Every structure is written in C-alpha cells, then in structure tokens.
Chain A
C-alpha cells in the first residue's frame, strides 16, 4: 500500500514536471524579450533538476541548480543587460523558407527518436549501482571521478582555465 502511494506520487511529480518543462521551453523559444526567455530557461532547468532527483541522481541535480540555473543563466542575463537590444525587440520574427524546412526536419527527427525509443527498450549490460546504492550518490561519483576518470577530470580543468583566459582576452578593450 505504501509503495503504491509512492509510485502514484512519482507519476504525479513526473507528469507535472514534464509538462511544465515542455511549456517553459516552448515559451523560451517564442517570447520576444530575451529576459523572459532567460527566466523560462531557469524554470526549465529547475524542472529537469526535479527529474534528476526522481532518477536518484542528487549530485547532478544539485550541480544543475548551482551551475546551470545559477551561474550560466546569471551570465546570460548579465550580458543581456550589457547589450542594448531595443531594435531586436521591435523587429518581428522573420520566417524564411529555410527556417520552415529546418523546423519540419527537426519535427521529423523527433518522430524518429520517439519511434526508436518506444520500439525497443534500452538494453545493455547492467552495472552494480542499484537504487539502494545510489542513495550515497555523491560518494560514488567522487570515487569514480578520482580513480577511473581522473584523466578526463584533469582535461576538464585545463579546458576551464583556457575558457577563463579566452574570455578575459576577448573582453579586454583594445587600446
């Protein structure tokens, strides 16, 4: 009985969050004001973070909220504030044939993806991280990150340093 209630809540949360995230992303691509788009992007990121928690990945959920919804969207909003986008707000959406064709191809791509997902359930060799073990998610991620994935981790640190230097050099004013 308790498990049935838990599953019911899981379904309710999943459906609510899924529809909210689809709605938020649709509003993101249709609003004219980029600030509104950025706020709907935050809503979408928070909804996906809830989905990560439903999937027993607390670490990625927290990273999602801190890095994506916090840092990256804050950067985007800051740049929107720096730039003066008045004429963009006044000009309407121009529809070219190429855009319509591209969107139609994207929808076709979606149909293909949905078919491939529904036709065959994901198979593969199952690992050892059952949901019970994933409750200590951060510890498991840290252990793997500093043993098996140590080299990619170092590469990521070099990549971040490169990005910092690049951003500083790009935005330095030429004299």
Chain B
C-alpha cells in the first residue's frame, strides 16, 4: 500500500483559512499598521493558491503571477507606510476608527 502525496485541496484549504484570518484581522483591528499586516497576509495566501495551481496544473504562469503580486506588495508597503507616517504627523493617531474624515 502506498501513501498518496499531499493533495492540492489541502493547500487550497490552508490558503483559504489564512485569507479568512487576514480578513477578520483587517476588519476587527484598530491599529492601521496591524490592518496593513493583515492585508499582507491575505496577499500571501493568494500567492499560495497561485503556486498550488501552478504546481498541479504543471504550468509556470502561476509563479509569474505570484512574482508580480510580490512586486505590487512591495510598492504598496513603501507608499502605505509613508502615508501612515504622514497621518501620524498630522492627526497624532493611526487608529483607523478615529481617522473618519471621509466617513459617510
């Protein structure tokens, strides 16, 4: 009897769980930096499912998409953190529920 190797469904379930944890964190936390970290977590879990599909469909396009996602995440980190520093300078807080100037 041979043991089957790890099926793609398990990788995808793990990716879904990480994504949901990221969504819950981004919705419930108040610190903007922690919200930002949760968004990185979500991007990362999507990368995991890209790579899983790339491996099990034997194509390399998923790897390239993950590469582009990482590049966009790096750009987003630079601009986003600069915005946090700006907001902290002008408002003395980075709690997302106190920055409500655009709230309807």
- Partner-B contacts on A (CB < 8 A): 3-4, 7-8, 10-11, 14, 18, 21-22, 25-26, 28-29, 34, 37-38, 41, 44-45, 48, 51-52, 54-57, 59-60, 63-64, 67-68, 71-72, 75-76, 79-80, 82-83, 85, 87-88, 91, 93-95, 99, 102-103, 106-107, 109-110, 113-114, 117-118, 121-122, 124-131, 134, 137, 140-141, 144-145, 149, 152, 156, 159-160, 162-164, 166-167, 170-171
Count A/B pairs, Cβ under 8 Å.
Answer: 246
Q: Are B14 and A99 in contact (CB under 8 A)?
A: no
Instruction: Scan residues 10-40 of chain B and give those whose CB is less than 8 A from a CB of chain A.
Output: 10-14, 16-25, 27-31, 33-34, 36-38, 40
What residue in chain B is nearest A83 (Cβ atoms)? Answer: B88
Determine if A113 and B16 form an interchain contact, defined as CB atoms under 8 angstroms apart.
yes
Chain B contact residues: helix, strand, loop or mixed: helix
- Give which listed residue, B5, B18, B54, B63, contacts A7 with CB less than 8 A: B5
Per-residue CB contact flags for chain B residues 52-92 toward chain A (1 = under 8 Å, else 0) read 11111111110110111011111111110111111010000
Q: Is the CB of B94 within 8 A of A162?
A: no
Nearest chain-A residue to B16 (Cβ)?
A113
